[in-house]
Chains A and B, each alone.
Chain A
Amino acid sequence: MELGVKVKTSLVEALQRVGRSVDELLDLLSPFSDSGAAYLVGSLACGYGNRRSDVDIHIFDADVESSGTPSVFFLGDTIVDVVHFHPDEAQRLSKLVPPRSVQLAGGRCALGRSLSRKLQVRLGRWSTAIPLEERTPPILAQPVSDAAASLITRGAIDDFVRILALAELATSVRSETTASAMWRKTARYLLEVVVRARGEIFVGEKWVWAKARRLGIDRQIVQGIDRVRSAANLQEQASNVDVPWLNAAELARLEPSSVEQIKIGSSSFVFVDQRRLLPSDLLVSGRLADEISRVGPDVLLTAIAYRAATLVVDDDAIDRALA
């Protein structure tokens, strides 16, 4: 399997997928022609997308005051989402120091603190962007683009650990159906790790099966992942795709939300989101393994679902587990 598969899609091919032409798009964007470098990003730029996809355009404009604010236009029924960024945003991302990484899932996975989802999405988009004009340079410096896969793969590992934690909690205290569904879903997150590690760095989870197909991942592996309904199934599939088995309880933590403890008479509650009163034993925080022992999985599932606490990953613990 060739690493870092990059499919070159032309602007013409990308727009044909939504039944539009380059001239139509440039005509629509003509008010911005003096703003700065413009790029097609997203699923269409990566060779995915279909007739109903949005056309996502990013423009780097030194005069923009607020980066990231979208404007929506229409080419017929096709939505054209235009977002302006200050060029400093691209320069900031370009200064990311390529991290240490380890081999994983047929590619590399970064060690160290993960990028936020917002930055992962941006990195994936800007690494695969197609300029609207041929002589426009790439958005990101080459070393950052090269490191993008390992950084974005690390993001997939973090997501995998979180959903793995949820599946393990559900298995302890929920119905067999709920548990099976959670394991099936967790396996999809495992596949996301694999496709990112192998170079599909555009972050868009709904395309995971299409990415697996395009990468030519063995049909038996895809079938095996789709058939996962238990922890044992998942562990077997993880081994098949060179992802180490991760103990989510040791790798995740609970961060309490900003909640307030209140009393009504002799009853104590946790006041969440200025809306909900939850039993006071839903005040949870710290290492997931410790809280499982202290309050049990049922309380933790409820605390997470009702936002008394957020489940986050422990970057250092994951580094140790992967290294």
Chain B
Amino acid sequence: MKPLSAHWVATSAMEAAWSLALVVDSQLEDIEGAVEVGDLWTAMECAFAALSSIAAASCAIEDDPIALFEFDVLSVLAAVDHDSLRVYVEMQPLLSVTPADVEEFVATVRQEYERVRAMLPFELPMMRTPKGFFPTIRVAADLERLRSRLGLGPFDWTSLQA
């Protein structure tokens, strides 16, 4: 097994993890909520938003800048002609979208989500559940300790806010 770069774990991997936890997890909830009430247009809009955020997280794992807001996500994806943009171009026209189309697209999104999560060197718990806070806080504290050992400053949480 090849060793991991501790610097990479404490920077790029950490940023990708937080973007999945803070943005993508709630986007996946948005999709499910829209599907449950039959709002297929909103479901597809949210599904592409999630797919592009996941794509941006995979770019962050490869040392690209963290991108949480849509403009930043799109600028990162456009800069590298990311394949996820092909999915958006080929996405069904909204007015003719069916529940089966949504189900298929959501399956693609979930597959990508699991693929990118598997690229992370640590397990990231879900953030916003009644049980989900303390494990996440522990992971955050562990990562901050690693950053400190590497001579890096604390992670700038304000960079994650709108």
Nearest Cβ on chain A to B51's Cβ, whole angstroms: 11
- Interface SS, B side: helix
Hey, what's the 0/1 contact readout for A271-289 against B, CB within 8 Å counting as 1? 0010110000000000000
Distance between Cα atoms of A269 and B29 in the complex (Å):
42
Residue A65 is within 8 A (CB to CB) of chain B in the complex: no
Is the beta-carbon distance between A206 and B42 smaller than 8 angstroms? Answer: yes
B130 engages A166 (CB within 8 Å): no
Binding stretch for chain A, among B89-97, B102-110, B112-120, B136-144: B89-97
Please give, as numbers and ranges, the residues of chain B lying within 8 Å of A261 by CB-CB distance. Answer: none
Q: How many residues on chain A are close to B (CB under 8 Å)? A: 51
Chain B residues whose C-beta falls within 8 Å of the C-beta of A207 in the assembled complex:
42
A182 to B71, CA, bound (A): 11
Our pick among A79, A169, A222, A276 for the contact of B94 (Cβ within 8 Å) is A222
| A219, B32: Cα distance in complex, Å | 25
A181 touches B85 (CB 8 A): yes
Indicate if the CB atoms of A175 and B81 lie closer than 8 Å. Answer: yes
Whether B75 contacts A304 by the Cβ 8 Å rule is yes
- In the assembled complex, how far is the CB of residue A28 from the closest CB belonging to chain B, in whole angstroms? 13
Q: From residue 181 to 210 of chain A, which have CB atoms closer than 8 A to chain B?
A: 181-182, 184-185, 188, 205-210
Q: Which residues of B contact A222 (CB under 8 A)?
A: 94-95
B13 on the interface (CB 8 Å rule)? no
Closest to B26 in A: A54
- A50 partner, pick from B36, B77, B94, beta carbons under 8 A: B36
Contact A53 B89 (CB under 8 A): no
With A and B bound together, what is the CA distance between A177 and B63 in angstroms?
Answer: 24
Contact A226 B95 (CB under 8 A): yes
Is the CB–CB distance between B89 and A229 below 8 Å? yes
Residue in contact with B49 in the complex, picked from A181, A206, A311, CB distance below 8 Å: A206
| Nearest 8 CB-CB pairings of A with B | A52-B33, A305-B79, A209-B41, A181-B85, A50-B33, A305-B75, A181-B88, A180-B89
- 28 A-B pairs within 8 Å (CB atoms) are namely A49-B33, A52-B32, A74-B130, A118-B162, A163-B74, A174-B81, A177-B86, A178-B78, A180-B89, A181-B78, A181-B89, A182-B74, A182-B78, A184-B89, A185-B74, A206-B30, A206-B42, A209-B41, A209-B94, A210-B42, A226-B94, A226-B95, A276-B63, A276-B65, A304-B75, A304-B79, A306-B64, A311-B71
